[in-house]
Amino acid sequence: MEDSPSTTKPHLLLIPFPFQGHIIPSAHLALKLAAAGFSVTFVNTEAVHHQIALANDEYLARFSGADGGHRDIFAGARSSGLDIRYELVGDGLPVTFDRSLNHDEFAVQLLHSFHGKVEALAGRLPPISGLVADTFFVWPATLARSLGIPYITFWTEPALVFSLYYHMDLLRHHGHFGSQAENRKDTITYLPGVAAIEPTDLMSYLQDSDTTTVVHRIIFKAFEEAHQADFILANTVAELETETIAAVHREKPFYAVGPIFPAGFTRSAVATSLWAESDCSQLLDSRPRGSVLYISFGSYAHVEKKVLEEIAHGVMASGASFVWVLRPDIVGSNDPEPLPAWFKKETAGRGIVVQWCRQAEVLSHPAVGGFLTHCGWNSILESVWSGVPMLCFPLLTDQFTNRRLVVGDWKVAVDLGGGSGRMAVRREDVAEKIGRLMRGEEGVMAREEVKKVRSILQGALAGGGSSSRNFDRFVEDLKCRVSSRRPV
């Protein structure tokens, strides 16, 4: 849209996976790449854009086109001098289709029709020098090869999770994944760069017995493509995953450039939220330091109503002040009242329940002393950056593996339990663990440890730190690679 990308700078096509936890780091990666001298075209799906526009109407109205129609989430960034454009593609379904309620139909489109849409877009754009695409897409290496450009796979989760998917064949070979009979239950000790991991710490998709689902097909194909990537750019930190990264790096250039946050952390220059953000500052400003529990299960997972009810009982019994984010579709978009009717009345004055918030702003408020989280990777990075210890309640996908990092390896979190396929929790445990995190010895220890991990993150992003150096090296290596070939 607007003016075309610069013809002197290498032009990158950057395509986030159309989920909130992927869009946020991808948008900030786009800003970093543009600031590093690339011309960037960022591609959202029409459905994602529609949802962002609805949620951020006021903000985006400032940047609406002359016709008042198209709202460009990067218009502000571009007016500050960054060479970054915004394009939309269809994902094969009508914009108003309920992707949360009909996840598998949506996934089928991602598997089959997205490729063609991106290919058609690439044909309409000025010459492209490189494709930066989320690792979960099933087509980027194939598309990049047909365009004669490098594929930079963008990984938004820990290197450990990347490595486990990357070595699925080894897990299969040893009977820890995809066995005809039951999968092995003993400790996994043969993966490069992963000294030992329990099968219960694998991602949920590697613990499933049915491996024929559409999500499995996506993962299998996506990692076939990842095996053909030219560069891996990852939102993690070298010092936190040294051995795992070194092992992947022996196979393919791997650049740990995280944590990728908005400049200034709490406020984003780009509108990325899919739901309207509530302001939580009134409650937070009125509470003592470290006294508020922040609760969120992220943007994607659903939670069963009876599980939410147990958690609600536990939160009430814990006596803690709280900010609780409950998306309108947390149980399912056909169930808009996820909490039991008594909860709001019984906890009035003690906490607030909101649909969505500016999470980074909430986490960095001094009143927040703990985070009951589903262990999404962005949430973990943001919590650590804010010095907030966690209580872990993973629900699916990488969240079990992420829990192993924060509870087992870094000791910055307390575990609330739950395993793949076992989304169960008892109200007594919720209340007790909240108490331990907010007021107990375990919380004190986790708070001390989180300071150490936070200083690792800060050091990585500082000038001369590992992530800064890795990013510079990546930019240099990519520029070198693209200058040696003519863009298509």
315 binds ligand UDP (CB under 6 A): no
Least distance from ligand UDP to the Cβ atom of residue 20, Å: 5
Neighbours of 116 (CB within 10 A): 14
With CB under 6 A as the contact rule, the residue among 129, 347, 379, 466 that binds ligand UDP is 379
With CB under 6 A as the contact rule, the residue among 360, 368, 413, 430 that binds ligand UDP is 360
Binders in 24-63 for ligand UDP, by CB under 6 A: 24
In the complex with ligand UDP, which residue's Cβ is closer, 35 or 353?
353
Dist. CA 71–CA 93, nearest whole Å: 21
| Contact present, 396 and 297 (Cβ < 8 Å) | no
Dist. CA 301–CA 380, nearest whole Å: 16
In the complex with ligand UDP, which residue's Cβ is closer, 208 or 382?
382
Least distance from ligand UDP to the Cβ atom of residue 482, Å: 30
Neighbours of 410 (CB within 10 A): 18
Dist. CA 143–CA 15, nearest whole Å: 12
Residues 6+ apart with CB under 8 A from 214: 104, 107, 108, 111
Strand ranges (DSSP E) for 120-274? 130-134, 151-155, 231-234, 254-256
Dist. CA 100–CA 300, nearest whole Å: 8
300 binds ligand UDP (CB under 6 A): yes
HSE value, Cβ hemisphere, 13 Å, CA-based, for 469: 8
356 binds ligand UDP (CB under 6 A): yes
Tokens 């992220």 correspond to what residue?
A: 298
With CB under 6 A as the contact rule, the residue among 5, 21, 259, 418 that binds ligand UDP is 21
With CB under 6 A as the contact rule, the residue among 5, 130, 376, 387 that binds ligand UDP is 376
With CB under 6 A as the contact rule, the residue among 83, 382, 415, 442 that binds ligand UDP is 382
Least distance from ligand UDP to the Cβ atom of residue 275, Å: 7
C-alpha separations of 434 from 281, 370, 382, 413 in Å: 22, 8, 20, 11
With CB under 6 A as the contact rule, the residue among 44, 135, 359, 386 that binds ligand UDP is 359
Least distance from ligand UDP to the Cβ atom of residue 300, Å: 4
178 binds ligand UDP (CB under 6 A): no
20 binds ligand UDP (CB under 6 A): yes
In the complex with ligand UDP, which residue's Cβ is closer, 28 or 287?
28
Dist. CA 310–CA 59, nearest whole Å: 37
In the complex with ligand UDP, which residue's Cβ is closer, 299 or 470?
299
List residues near ligand UDP by CB under 6 A. Answer: 20-21, 24, 273, 296, 298-301, 325, 356-357, 359-360, 376-379, 382
